[in-house]
Amino acid sequence: MSGIKESKRGGFGSKIGVVLASAGSAVGLGNIWRFSYMTGQNGGAAFILIYLCCVFLLGLPVMLSEFTIGRRAHSNTMRAYLKLAPGTKWFMLGGMGVLAGFLILGYYSVVCGWTLEYLFQSVAGNMSGKEPEAFNSMFSAFTSSSFRPLMWMILFLLLTHFIVVKGIKKGIEKSSMILMPMLFIIMLVLIGRSVTLPGAREGLSYLFNPDFSKITSSVVLSALGQAFFSLSLGMGCLCTYASYFPDNTNMVKTGVEVTVLDTTVAILSGVIIFPAVFTFGIDPSSGPELVFVTLPNVFQNMIGGYLWSILFYILLTLAALTSTISMHEVVTAFMEEETRISRAKAAWIVTLGCMLIGTYCSLSFGLLGRVTVFGLDLFTLTDFISSKVMLPLGGMFISLFTGWYLDKKILWDELSNHNTLRFRLFKAYLFIIRYVAPVFIACIFLKEIGVL
Ligand code: PFF
């Protein structure tokens, strides 16, 4: 990479900007849409319990490792390994991250597109006066059609594109500072309505009363995959963001704040969704459509539901947007810094590539529905490969890299800001990334593929 390009790299301008942009990446459809259907498919509270363990015991340490790599290297995720481990194959870990970012952004934008359609339908007033069953058919008719989902997916990618092109401070940081606080406020209002629904008790008990017999290796793998997905870990996303952190950022504190914020939003969205699931007799294990069929029912039962529904889908869109921006940035920063092309051109390549992936993922709900690989449709396959295979594997190798390859002094230097901050749990952190995280992730993997 040329010195000129490196010195032109942008950076975040404020502490709160750092936290909100990182939390913006973490908080997204994964917390609301994916978390709720994963919880529903994996047996409720028991899944959440395992999820929480994965988040705090494995996710947070891996996040600190990504922060360290990124801020130390001040470059895109692949270049970071080339700088910190010259002459080795570790750069492939960065390369896998870029590829995962590309794949996830492709299928994620399909769901972002659904969010835009629901926003549009809310504004048009088509969400009121419907029976629960009607939302079901509305959802399947929409997702299995060809044109509209594609149109919204493309629009969403263009929105992401234009923010990323604006750069770190004016695009990414500024948008997160506005969108994140709004999301939080709206969630609180929606909870107020949801917990007063008749099915609230049943819904909350499903969320908080674990049935331990439901825990299987597949539940644990799903919880681990979900933890990495929700925290944006394993693909160098937070590593890329950390490369824009100022030198005085307290990364341990930032990591804890981002993790707590992300987990809170996930649990709260469960509190919004599951009371409604039980009130309206929807099957909690119904899969990806859960949010798009359940939530409209909640709005129907709220005074001023028309407005709340609009507001909710605006905010869901915006939360999703802060996440798509971060995935886009991983690939754009890579393209820009590793080639001679401008940021704008790099961003276009990413946008167009993701439109392609988004197209086959979207059509897998209709036209390409019969195309399956290993028994999975293309959307589920892309989700499986990227979030259940690449993210946990990425997390495992990131732990191994920071735990065993990287000099401990570098780790300490970064996490303590050159010995100016305390980090009492440093030894525990080291123990986790050296032994616990890699072994745990490897065991779950081997179990899943039938070796253990
Ligand atoms: N964390 C985001 C969410 O929960 O929606 C999704 C995501 C963003 C995954 C960035 C991975 C990533 F690198």
**With a 6 A CB cut-off, is 395 part of the ligand 1 pocket?**
no
Tell which one of 54, 103, 104, 180 to mutate to probe ligand 1, the residue whose CB is within 8 A of the most ligand atoms. 104
Residue entry with tokens 């690989």: 373
| 258, 326 Cβ separation under 8 angstroms | no
**How many whole angstroms from 320 Cα to the centroid of ligand 1?**
9
Which residue segments constitute the domains of the chain, with CATH numbers given?
A: 6-448 (1.10.4160)
**With a 6 A CB cut-off, is 28 part of the ligand 1 pocket?**
yes
**How many whole angstroms from 328 Cα to the centroid of ligand 1?**
11
**359: Cβ–Cβ under 8 A, 6 or more apart, which residues?**
150, 153
372: β partners: 377
Helix-helix angle 305-338:147-166, to 10 degrees: 60
Longest dimension (CA), the chain: 64
**With a 6 A CB cut-off, is 110 part of the ligand 1 pocket?**
no
**19: Cβ–Cβ under 8 A, 6 or more apart, which residues?**
254, 257, 258, 261
Helix-helix angle 174-194:15-26, to 10 degrees: 60
Angstrom distance (rounded) from CA 228 to CA 244 = 21
* Atom of ligand 1 lying closest to residue 229 CA: 9
Looking at residue 448, what is its pLDDT?
Answer: 62
**With a 6 A CB cut-off, is 258 part of the ligand 1 pocket?**
no
**With a 6 A CB cut-off, is 102 part of the ligand 1 pocket?**
no
**With a 6 A CB cut-off, is 30 part of the ligand 1 pocket?**
yes
Tell me which residue has its CA closest to atom 11 in ligand 1. 232
**With a 6 A CB cut-off, is 323 part of the ligand 1 pocket?**
yes
**With a 6 A CB cut-off, is 109 part of the ligand 1 pocket?**
no
Outline where 91-173 has alpha helix (H): 91-123, 132-144, 147-166
The strand pair at 376-377 and 372-373 is best described as: antiparallel
Angstrom distance (rounded) from CA 238 to CA 247 = 16
Provide the residue count of the chain: 452
**How many whole angstroms from 396 Cα to the centroid of ligand 1?**
17
Nearest to 319 by CA among 102, 160, 192: 160
Residue entry with tokens 């399909």: 110
End-to-end CA distance of the chain: 44
Q: What angle (nearest 5°) sits at the alpha carbon of residue 97, between those of residues 91 and 99?
A: 105
What's 376's DSSP letter? E
| 91, 82 Cβ separation under 8 angstroms | yes
Strand, coil or helix: 373:
strand
**With a 6 A CB cut-off, is 29 part of the ligand 1 pocket?**
yes
**With a 6 A CB cut-off, is 107 part of the ligand 1 pocket?**
no
Angstrom distance (rounded) from CA 350 to CA 353 = 5
Q: How far apart, in Å, are the Cα atoms of 195 and each of 181, 247, 414? A: 22, 44, 43
Looking at residue 14, what is its pLDDT?
Answer: 87
Tens of each residue's pLDDT in the chain, 452 residues: 444 444 467 789 888 889 999 999 999 999 988 898 899 989 899 999 999 999 999 999 999 999 999 999 999 999 999 999 999 999 999 999 999 999 999 999 999 999 999 999 999 988 887 887 888 889 989 999 999 999 999 999 999 999 999 888 888 888 888 888 888 888 888 888 888 888 899 999 999 999 888 888 888 888 988 898 899 998 999 999 999 999 999 999 999 999 999 999 999 999 988 888 888 777 788 777 777 887 787 777 767 778 878 877 887 898 899 999 999 999 999 999 999 899 999 999 999 999 999 999 999 998 887 888 888 888 888 988 887 788 888 999 999 999 999 999 999 999 999 889 999 999 999 999 999 999 988 887 676 666 66
- Phi, psi angle pair for 376, to nearest 5°: -110, 140
**With a 6 A CB cut-off, is 25 part of the ligand 1 pocket?**
yes
Q: pTM for the whole thing?
A: 0.90
**With a 6 A CB cut-off, is 297 part of the ligand 1 pocket?**
no
* Atom of ligand 1 lying closest to residue 235 CA: 13
| 115, 316 Cβ separation under 8 angstroms | yes
**How many whole angstroms from 382 Cα to the centroid of ligand 1?**
14
Q: Which two tokens stand for residue 383?
A: 């989700």
**With a 6 A CB cut-off, is 232 part of the ligand 1 pocket?**
yes
**251: Cβ–Cβ under 8 A, 6 or more apart, which residues?**
64, 67, 68, 71, 242, 245, 414, 415, 417
Outline where 15-131 has alpha helix (H): 15-26, 29, 35-41, 45-53, 60-73, 77-84, 91-123
**131: Cβ–Cβ under 8 A, 6 or more apart, which residues?**
none
Strand, coil or helix: 377:
strand
